[in-house]
Structure 1
Amino acid sequence: MKRLLTLFFFCTLLLPLLQAQPVHQIKGTVIDKNSRQPLEFINVMVIGLNKGGVTDAEGHFTIEQVPPGIYRLQATAIGYKSVTTPEYILSTRNLNIPIEMEENLTELEGVTVTASPFRRDMESPVSLRIIGLQEIEKSPGANRDISRIVQSYPGVAFSPIGYRNDLIVRGGSPFENRFYLDGVEIPNINHFSTQGASGGPVGILNADLIREVNFYTGAFPTDKGNALSSVLDFKLRDGDMERNSLKATLGASEVSLASNGHIGKKTSYLVSVRQSYLQFLFDMLDLPFLPTFTDAQFKLKTRFDERNELTVLGLGGIDNMRLNTKADSEDNEYILSYLPKIKQETFTLGAVYRHYAGAHVQSLVVSHSYLNNRNTKYRQNDESIPENLMLRLRSTEQETKFRFENNSSFRNWKINLGVNLDYSQYSNTTFQKVYTNQAQTFDYHTYLGILRWGLFGTISYSSMDDRFTASLGLRADANNYSSAMKSLSDQLSPRISLSYQLTDHWFVSGNAGLYYQLPPYTALGFKNNNGTYANKYNLRYMKVSQESLGISWRKGDSFEVSVEGFYKDYDKIPLSIADGIPLACKGNDYGVVGNELLASTAQGRSYGAEILVKWLIAKKLNLASSFTLFKSEYRNDKESEYIASAWDNRFIFNLRGTYNLPHQWSVGMKVSCIGGAPYTPYDEKKSSLVSAWDAQGKAYYDYSRYNKERLPAFAQADIRIDKTFYLKHCMLGFYIDLQNITMSKLKQQDVLMSTGIVENPEAPADSRHYRMKRIEQSSGTLLPTLGITFEY
C-alpha cells in the first residue's frame, strides 16, 4: 500500500515538468434524422464551456480551442427539437461528433422543447438509467467494470463477499438478466460465468470501447425479450474517421491495448485485447482460486452512403481458473474441498445492417454465440486416484440469432415492428456424484437443438408539446422444446407505459407489463440415468408481471430527484425437486445452475420503493445517491407460504460522487451499505455422512429451515484519485483506487467442515460419519489498485 502511494505521488509530482496543456477542435455534422440531409444554421454548444459553433450549408460545425475533458454537446435550432449528446472524451486528438435532430412540430404554437441529460424514453419512462462516460471512467471501487458500476444504482444489490459480479436486480435471480452490444445479444458479460446464470469475478467488456449504457430494471423494450429482471444495452463508440490512435491501460486485474481509427474513407474500427494478471492479485490475497483470462473485442462500421450502413462486431474470452492448493487456511480448506477447476471459452460474432428510408428505418441483426464450459473436481484435489473423481462436466451452448425490425415515425407517432428467429444447440457430457437420500452417480450425454421464434411491436405517442407520452407494446415467444411451449398465444407479453409532465419540474410516469423467459439450457437438457430428458414435460416459460410507478422533480439540466415503486409477481419458476427450493434462489457461486430435476411450480414476489438523487455540474461534479427498501419472497407452489428469497437484503444504500479539481485532478468516493442476506442452517447429520460429504465436498443445508437466519448488515467505503497529463501528442493518466478503506468485515455463517476422521469405521458404509468441525468465517480487506493509462 505504501509503495503504491509513493509511486502515485512521485509520478504526479514529476510529470508536470513535461506537461504542456494542449487544446483541440470539436467538429461534427448535424443531419435530419429522417431525411439524412445536412442541416444549416444549427447552434452547437459545449455544455459547461462558453464555446460553440454554427453549422454551414453542409451541416459541418467546428468549435476551436477546447481543452481536454469529458463533454456533452447541445444542438438547438428553430423548427427542431433540442438535442443533448452522450458524453465524449476529448483527449489527444480532435473530436468528430455526428448529431441527429428531429423536426419540432410544436414550433408554430410557440412551445419550446428543451434538451436535458435526464432523458425520457417513451417506451421506458420508468426503470431506465443511462450511464455515461464520466461514471464509467471514474467510479470509485468499480475499476471501470460495468457490472460493478451498475451496483450503485437503485434496486441493484452488491455482493459484500466473494469477489463476484452477480447482477441481482429488484430481488431477482442472477439468471434473469439480458445483455446487448450495439443491438447484438451477448450471453454474458463476465469471465468465469456460472453456466445457467450470469455472474463471475470480472467483466469481459473493455470500458475503453463503450460510449454509454442503457440500464433497464423494468419496462423492457419489446425488441429485447427473454428477461425478467434487467436489460443492459451497451452502446459502443465509433472509430475515428480522421486519425488512428492507440491506448494502453494497466488496471486492477489486467493490461489492455486498444486501437481506434479508420480503414479507407468509409470504414471505422475499434479493437482491443486484454490479458489478466488477476491470478497474482488473488495469490497475494491468499485466495483459494487463481483465475487467468484473455479477451478480445472489435467493431467495424461501414457507411456505404447516407442511407445504408453495416456494423460488424465480435467479443471473445478464454478463461482458466486453477485451484490455489498452497492457500492452507481453514477458510480456504473448505472452499478447496468443493470448488472445481474451470476452463471456459466464449465468443459472439454479430452484424447489424441498417437502412434509412426517410421516416422508416429497417434493421437486420444476425449473430452467433458460443460457450464451451469444462468443470473438473477430484476429492481432496487428488487427481492421481481415478476413484476420487467427483465431477467432470463438458458442456457447450451455441445460439444463432436472426432479428428484423422496422421503425417508423409519423409526426408524433412512432411504430416499431419486428420478428426474431433463433436456433440454439446445447450439448453436455456429465459425470457427477450427488447425494439426496442416498449416494447417486449421474453419467449422461445430451444434445439438444431448439428452434425459437417471436414477434414484437410497439406503438408510441407523444403530445405536440412533449408533456404527455404513451407506449403500448406486445411480444409473443415460442419454441419447439415441448408441446407446452409451442404456442405464441401462451407467451403473450403485453405492456403499457405512460408519462406526463405535471409542471415545468414535476413528472409522473408508470409502466405495467408481462414478461417471459426460457429456463436455462442446463435445465432443459438435463437427463436422468435412463437417458430421457427429465424436465421436458415439467418446465414452462418463467413469467413475471411487473408494475412500476414513479415521480421525479428536475431543476434545470443539473439536478433530479426521483421516487419509484415497483411490484413483481413471479409464476412458473423451476423448483428443485431434491432441495425443495426455487432455482431462482441459486446462481451466485461458481459452477453450473439448473442441471437437476425441476418442476415449474414455484412462485415469487418482490416489491419495494427506490429513491435516486442525481446532481450534475458540467466539468465539476457528478453526484448520485440511491436508497432501496424492498422484500423478495418465494414459495414452492400456490398452497405454500411465502419465505424470504436468497436475495432478500431488505435495503440497499449507495452514495457516490466524483469532483473534478483544477489541473486535471479528480477525486471520488463511494459509500455502500446493504442489509444482511438470509441464510439456511446446515443439516449436520446429513453433512457428516461419509457418502454424502464425499459426493459434494461441502456441507448440506437443512432446507426445512430455509432462510430462517440472517447475516448482519454490511457497509464499506471506497476512494479513487485520478490525475491526467495531456502532453503534445499523447495522454498519460494515473489513478489509485482504494476499495474498502474502512477495512469492514462481514461476519458469515460458520462453515461446517469434515475433519476427515471417521467416527464409526466399524459401521456399514452408508452409515459412517465424519467427525465435523466449525470454522468461523468473516471476509473483507483493503484492496488498493494503481492504474495507468497511456494514449497516443
Structure 2
Amino acid sequence: MRLFYALTLLMLSIGNLSFGQNTGVLSGTIRDRATQQQLPGVTVALEGTSLGTATDEQGRFRLADIPTGSYNVRVSFVGYEPLLRANTVITSGNANIVSLQLAPAAQALGEVTVTASRAIRVATAETPLSVQRLNVEEIKSNPGGNFDISKVVQVLPGVGGGGTGGTAGFRNDIIIRGGAPNENVYYLDGIEVPVINHFQTQGSAGGPAGMLNVSFIEDVTLSTSAFEARYDNTLSSVLQFRQRDGNPDRVQGNVRLSGTEVAGTLEGPLAQNTTFLASVRRSYLQVLFKLIDLPIRPDYWDSQFKITTKLGSKTTLTALGLGALDHFEVAVPRKSTPENTYSIRNTPTIDQWNYTVGVSLRQLLERGYLNLALSRTQLSNQADFFEGGTEFAGDESRRVLLTRSGETENKLRLDVNRSLGKWQYAYGAVGQLIEYDNRYFNRLRQAVLNPDGSVQQPAVSVQFQSDLQFARFGAFAQVTRPFLTDDRLTLSAGLRADGNSFTEGGANLLRTLSPRVSASYALASRWNLNASIGRYYKIPPSTLLGFRDAAGQLVNRPNRYIGSTHYVAGLEFLPSASRRFTVEGFWKQYNHYPVNTRDGISLANLGGDFVALGNEAVTSTGRGRAFGGEFFFQQKLTRNLFAVTSYTLFRSEFTGRDGRYKPSAWDTRHLASVLLGRKFGRGWELGVKYRLGGGSPYTPFDDAASQQNYLTIGQGVLDYSRLNTQRLRTFQQLDLRVDRKINLRRLTFDLYADVQNVLALKAPAAPSYTFQRTPDNSAFVTTDGQPLRPDGSNAVPFLLDNNSTLVLPTIGFIVEF
C-alpha cells in the first residue's frame, strides 16, 4: 500500500504542471458488417464537440488536431444502425486507429431519432442475446485487471473466475453459467487460439496470467449462448478478440513498465498497403512474489504479431502469431510453519511453451465475402516432482511425477457469407489434423523395506506412453431473415455437424447434428424480446482420448462427443445511446459427460488440477444441468462516468455412476460484480471494481483412509461418499486503480497505481491434509514418540488452512511515442 500512496503523491506533485494544449489523431475504416464492404460517406463525429468528418470512397477517415482527452465517437449512415464507440482516448503519443462495422437498420426503426438509443446494442441477428462487448479502453482501465483480458471479462454476467477449490483470486479459468473452463473457444481475428493464458491446465484452460497484448485489441465480444453455426467445439461460450490494424501513416509504439512486467509494442507501415503490429513482454512476477514472501514463482515471456496486407481493393491477407514460454516453481516463504513447508515442497515444477500462427484471406464478393484461414497451434507441457522439493531435481530415485506431453493442431477453415434481398446466409467447412503424445510416470508408493534392507512391499507406480494422430472435420450452414410488418421479427436458423477419425462412430455426422434457432422481436424502439434454442457438441480433450491402460490400450476410444442443449430467453432495454439493461433466464442440459471409471464420478464434480485434465479411463455416461438467471446493466462513458453491473443466480449439477445429481466443482450459486469509472480533468481517472462469488463446493477428507495412505500417496484421501457436500466461504474482492495521463508533443505518459484486494479480505481455499511435523521440520510428530509407522497409525493428522490474504499493489507507467 505504501507504493500505491507514493505513486499517487507523485501524480499529484506533477498534476499542476502545464504543458500547453496538445492534440492527437483518430483514423480508421468503416465497413458493412454483413458484407464487409467499405462504406463511403459515413459521418464520424465526436460527441460534445463540433469536430467531425466523413469516410472517403475507400471507407477510410482521418480526424486530426483533436484536443487530447476521452470522447464518445458517433457514427451514422443512412440505412444503418447508428454506432457509439464510447470512451475513445485521444493522446498525443499514438494515433488511435479503429476499425468499425455498421449493421443494416430494420425498416421499422428507420428514423434517426428513434434508432439513436440502439447505438449501444451489441446483439446481431444470429446472436440476439447472451452477448456482451468490451472495448480496449474498458480493458486497459479495469481495476485489478492489470491489462489482462481474461480477468476483465469476469465482470460480465454469468462469468465466474478462478479454478476449483477457491482459486478465484489468482486463476483465469473462465467459467460460464456453471460450465467447465474447457467448454469455451477463443478466436483471434477469426483464427482459433486454443491457449490464451500462461500456465494453462492442459486439456482445460485457465492460468494465472493472460497472454494477449491489449495494445493490439479493438474490442472483445463474449457470447454465452445462441452461438452461430460457424463455431465448433463449444458448449459454454465463444470469446472473440478483434485486433486493430497497425498505423498506416507512421511508426509508433509504447513501452509499459510495472511492478509485474515490462512490455514493448511497435507498429506502423511495412510497405504500401501493408501494416504491422509486434510486441514482446517479460514478466518478473517471481521477483515481486519473493519480495512479498509468496511461495509461488511464476516466470514467463510472450510475444505477438499481426501483419495486414491489402492485395487489392477486394482482397486482404492477414498473418498473425502468439507465443509464450512459461516456468513455474515454488519456494518456501520466510514465514512458514513446518507443515506448510513440507506441503510446499510437494509441489511440481512446470515448464510449458506454446504458440499459434495463422494466415487468413478475406475476399469480397458480390453481396458478401469469404474467409479462408490456415493455422497451427503447438503446446508442450512438462511437469516434474521430486520427493523433498526442487533441490533434489535430477535424482531419479526421488522422482514422484514426470509428465512430458505435447499437442499439435493444424486447422483449415472456410466460410462464405452472402446476402440476397432480406435474406442473409452463410456456409462453410473446417478440417483439422490433431497430433498428441504423452509420457507419464507417477509413483504412488515407495518400496517398504525390512530392517535388513530386503523389500517387504514393492514400490507402486503408474507409467504409460501414448501418442495418436487423427482428423477432425465439420460443416455448417446458417440463414437469417426479418419478418412481419416493418421487420419487427428476425429469425435465424443454423445447422452444423462434426466428426473425427479416432473415436468409435466419430465419423458418423448424424450423431452430432446440432440445430439452433434464435428470434428477436422489437417490442418498441427501445425494447427487444429475444430467445434461442440450440444443440452444441464438443469432443473430449486429447488428454482423455490419448490415455492408455496398463495393457497399452486406448480405453477411451468409445467415448462420444459431449452434448449440451441451451434454452435461453431474455429482455433487452435500451433507454439511451449509452445505457443498456438485459435480463435473461437460461437452462442447459448435458449428456455423454465423462465419468471416471475408478470412482464413478463425473469430471465436472471433480474439477481439475493445474497440470493436466485427464490421464485416466472414463465413460460417456454422465448427465448434467445448469440453470439460472442473470441481470446486466452497462453505461458507456456519460458525463465522465461509466459503469458495469451484473448479477447471476444459478445452479450447476452433474451425475456420476450412481445417476444422482450433485453440485459441480463450479457451483458457486452467486456471481456479482460492479465496475465504476470516473474521468476527471487534466488526465485523471479513477476506477473501482468489486467481485463476489458464492462458496465453491468441495469434498472433505476421509480421515481413516487419509491417515493410512498419506505416506503412500503424499496427500489426503477424499471421502467421495460426501462428494461436494461442503462449501468454502464467499469470495469477495475490491480493486482500485488511479491513472494520470500527461500529453506532451508526440509523447504521452500514463502513470497508474493499481491495488488488488484493497480491503485485505481472505480468499477462501480448500484445506490440505498432512501430518504434523517437528519444529525443526526434520521428522513427523508421533503420538508415542516412536518413528512414524508406514500405515500412519501413530501420526498426528493436520489440516492446513489455505485461506490467504493477498494484497497486490502494482505501480507502473506507459510511454507512448
Structure-2 change in CA distance of 1:35 and 1:511 (3 Å)? closer
Structure-2 change in CA distance of 1:541 and 1:57 (3 Å)? closer
Q: Does 1:424 align with 2:434?
A: yes
The aligned residue for residue 122 of structure 1 is 125
The aligned residue for residue 668 of structure 1 is 687
Map 1:581-596 to 2 at 5 A.
581-587=601-607, 589-596=609-616
**Aligned counterpart in structure 2 of residue 641 of structure 1, from 660, 671, 682:** 660
The aligned residue for residue 178 of structure 1 is 185
What is the rounded CA distance, in whole Å, between the counterparts of 1:683 and 1:333 in structure 2? 23
Q: Which amino acid aligns with 1:730?
A: L
The aligned residue for residue 812 of structure 2 is 787
Q: Does 1:253 align with 2:260?
A: yes
The aligned residue for residue 737 of structure 1 is 754
What is the rounded CA distance, in whole Å, between the counterparts of 2:58 and 2:788 in structure 1? 90
What is the rounded CA distance, in whole Å, between the counterparts of 2:424 and 2:309 in structure 1? 27
- CA-CA distance at 1:16 after TM superposition: 4.9
- CA-CA distance at 1:78 after TM superposition: 3.5
SS in 2 for 1:347: strand
Q: Which amino acid aligns with 1:136?
A: I
What is the rounded CA distance, in whole Å, between the counterparts of 2:301 and 2:26 in structure 1? 35
Q: Which amino acid aligns with 1:500?
A: Y
Q: Residue 337 of structure 1 contacts residue 697 of structure 1 at CA under 8 Å; is this kept in 2? A: no
Q: Deviations over 1:610-651 (max 9, x none)?
A: 0011122346121011111111111114x6221111111111
What is the rounded CA distance, in whole Å, between the counterparts of 2:260 and 2:649 in structure 1? 33
Q: Does 1:653 align with 2:672?
A: yes
Q: Residue 319 of structure 2 contacts residue 358 of structure 2 at CA under 8 Å; is this kept in 1? A: yes
SS in 2 for 1:484: coil
What is the rounded CA distance, in whole Å, between the counterparts of 2:737 and 2:75 in structure 1? 33
The aligned residue for residue 745 of structure 2 is 728
SS in 2 for 1:741: coil
Q: Which amino acid aligns with 2:481?
A: Y
* Range 491-500 or range 384-393, more displaced: 384-393
The aligned residue for residue 558 of structure 1 is 578
Map 1:390-469 to 2 at 5 A.
390-434=400-444, 440-463=460-483, 465=486, 467-469=488-490
Q: Residue 16 of structure 1 contacts residue 725 of structure 1 at CA under 8 Å; is this kept in 2? A: no
The aligned residue for residue 618 of structure 2 is 598
Q: Which amino acid aligns with 1:598?
A: V
What is the rounded CA distance, in whole Å, between the counterparts of 1:214 and 1:277 in structure 2? 30
SS in 2 for 1:687: helix
- CA-CA distance at 1:157 after TM superposition: 1.6
Map 1:130-145 to 2 at 5 A.
130-145=133-148
What is the rounded CA distance, in whole Å, between the counterparts of 1:763 and 1:583 in structure 2? 35
Structure-2 change in CA distance of 1:501 and 1:346 (3 Å)? same
Q: Which amino acid aligns with 2:516?
A: R
The aligned residue for residue 24 of structure 1 is 24
SS in 2 for 1:663: helix
Q: Residue 35 of structure 2 contacts residue 418 of structure 2 at CA under 8 Å; is this kept in 1? A: no
What is the rounded CA distance, in whole Å, between the counterparts of 2:15 and 2:110 in structure 1? 57
- CA-CA distance at 1:719 after TM superposition: 1.1
Q: Residue 493 of structure 1 contacts residue 516 of structure 1 at CA under 8 Å; is this kept in 2? A: yes
The aligned residue for residue 362 of structure 1 is 370
SS in 2 for 1:240: coil
**Aligned counterpart in structure 2 of residue 479 of structure 1, from 500, 504, 511:** 500
Q: Residue 456 of structure 1 contacts residue 476 of structure 1 at CA under 8 Å; is this kept in 2? A: yes
* Range 696-705 or range 312-321, more displaced: 696-705
Structure-2 change in CA distance of 1:75 and 1:383 (3 Å)? closer
The aligned residue for residue 772 of structure 1 is 797
What is the rounded CA distance, in whole Å, between the counterparts of 1:338 and 1:108 in structure 2? 64
Q: Does 1:704 align with 2:711?
A: no
- CA-CA distance at 1:85 after TM superposition: 5.1
The aligned residue for residue 82 of structure 1 is 82
- CA-CA distance at 1:468 after TM superposition: 2.1
SS in 1 for 2:137: helix
Q: What residue ranges of structure 2 are gaps of 5+ in the alignment?
A: 447-457, 773-778
Structure-2 change in CA distance of 1:102 and 1:722 (3 Å)? closer
Q: Residue 88 of structure 1 contacts residue 211 of structure 1 at CA under 8 Å; is this kept in 2? A: no
SS in 2 for 1:777: coil
What is the rounded CA distance, in whole Å, between the counterparts of 2:94 and 2:764 in structure 1? 50
The aligned residue for residue 353 of structure 1 is 361
Structure-2 change in CA distance of 1:414 and 1:649 (3 Å)? same
Q: Residue 20 of structure 1 contacts residue 726 of structure 1 at CA under 8 Å; is this kept in 2? A: no
Q: Residue 86 of structure 1 contacts residue 211 of structure 1 at CA under 8 Å; is this kept in 2? A: no
Structure-2 change in CA distance of 1:130 and 1:318 (3 Å)? same
Q: Deviations over 1:416-470 (max 9, x none)?
A: 100000000000111112479x974222111110101001111111348453221
**Aligned counterpart in structure 1 of residue 515 of structure 2, from 482, 494, 499:** 494
Q: Residue 569 of structure 2 contacts residue 586 of structure 2 at CA under 8 Å; is this kept in 1? A: yes
Map 1:92-171 to 2 at 5 A.
92-95=93-96, 97=98, 106=107, 113-114=115-116, 115-159=118-162, 161=167, 163-171=170-178
Structure-2 change in CA distance of 1:334 and 1:505 (3 Å)? farther
Q: Deviations over 1:378-421 (max 9, x none)?
A: 12213364322111110100000001110001222211100000
SS in 2 for 1:522: helix
The aligned residue for residue 231 of structure 2 is 224
What is the rounded CA distance, in whole Å, between the counterparts of 2:36 and 2:330 in structure 1? 56
Q: Residue 87 of structure 1 contacts residue 211 of structure 1 at CA under 8 Å; is this kept in 2? A: no
What is the rounded CA distance, in whole Å, between the counterparts of 1:664 and 1:745 in structure 2? 34
SS in 1 for 2:599: coil
Structure-2 change in CA distance of 1:11 and 1:355 (3 Å)? same
The aligned residue for residue 44 of structure 1 is 44
Q: CA RMSD in A?
A: 2.7
- CA-CA distance at 1:495 after TM superposition: 0.7
* Range 420-429 or range 21-30, more displaced: 21-30
Structure-2 change in CA distance of 1:95 and 1:707 (3 Å)? closer
What is the rounded CA distance, in whole Å, between the counterparts of 1:653 and 1:193 in structure 2? 25
What is the rounded CA distance, in whole Å, between the counterparts of 1:447 and 1:385 in structure 2? 27
What is the rounded CA distance, in whole Å, between the counterparts of 1:763 and 1:255 in structure 2? 49
What is the rounded CA distance, in whole Å, between the counterparts of 1:584 and 1:635 in structure 2? 9
* Range 770-779 or range 177-186, more displaced: 770-779
Q: Deviations over 1:48-98 (max 9, x none)?
A: 544222456676655454223454533333455534458754322444555
Q: Which amino acid aligns with 1:498?
A: A
Q: Residue 86 of structure 2 contacts residue 636 of structure 2 at CA under 8 Å; is this kept in 1? A: no
What is the rounded CA distance, in whole Å, between the counterparts of 1:89 and 1:574 in structure 2? 47
Map 1:286-305 to 2 at 5 A.
286-305=293-312
* Range 398-407 or range 763-772, more displaced: 763-772
Q: Residue 29 of structure 1 contacts residue 38 of structure 1 at CA under 8 Å; is this kept in 2? A: yes
Q: Residue 229 of structure 2 contacts residue 495 of structure 2 at CA under 8 Å; is this kept in 1? A: yes
What is the rounded CA distance, in whole Å, between the counterparts of 1:640 and 1:237 in structure 2? 49
What is the rounded CA distance, in whole Å, between the counterparts of 2:36 and 2:647 in structure 1? 43
Q: Residue 141 of structure 1 contacts residue 738 of structure 1 at CA under 8 Å; is this kept in 2? A: yes
What is the rounded CA distance, in whole Å, between the counterparts of 1:775 and 1:653 in structure 2? 29
Map 1:193-212 to 2 at 5 A.
193-212=200-219
Q: Residue 301 of structure 1 contacts residue 311 of structure 1 at CA under 8 Å; is this kept in 2? A: yes
What is the rounded CA distance, in whole Å, between the counterparts of 1:106 and 1:747 in structure 2? 53
Structure-2 change in CA distance of 1:58 and 1:109 (3 Å)? closer
Structure-2 change in CA distance of 1:217 and 1:206 (3 Å)? same
What is the rounded CA distance, in whole Å, between the counterparts of 1:480 and 1:192 in structure 2? 30
**Aligned counterpart in structure 2 of residue 277 of structure 1, from 263, 284, 307:** 284
Q: Residue 29 of structure 1 contacts residue 98 of structure 1 at CA under 8 Å; is this kept in 2? A: yes
Q: Which amino acid aligns with 1:699?
A: G
Q: Which amino acid aligns with 1:780?
A: T
Q: Does 1:680 align with 2:699?
A: yes
Structure-2 change in CA distance of 1:155 and 1:104 (3 Å)? closer
Q: Deviations over 1:189-208 (max 9, x none)?
A: 11011111101111111111
Q: Deviations over 1:690-728 (max 9, x none)?
A: xx4345432121111101111222322111111101111
The aligned residue for residue 316 of structure 2 is 309
Structure-2 change in CA distance of 1:536 and 1:117 (3 Å)? same
Q: Which amino acid aligns with 1:348?
A: T
Structure-2 change in CA distance of 1:625 and 1:424 (3 Å)? same
The aligned residue for residue 625 of structure 1 is 645
Q: Does 1:343 align with 2:343?
A: no
**Aligned counterpart in structure 2 of residue 611 of structure 1, from 613, 616, 631:** 631
State the number of aligned residues: 788
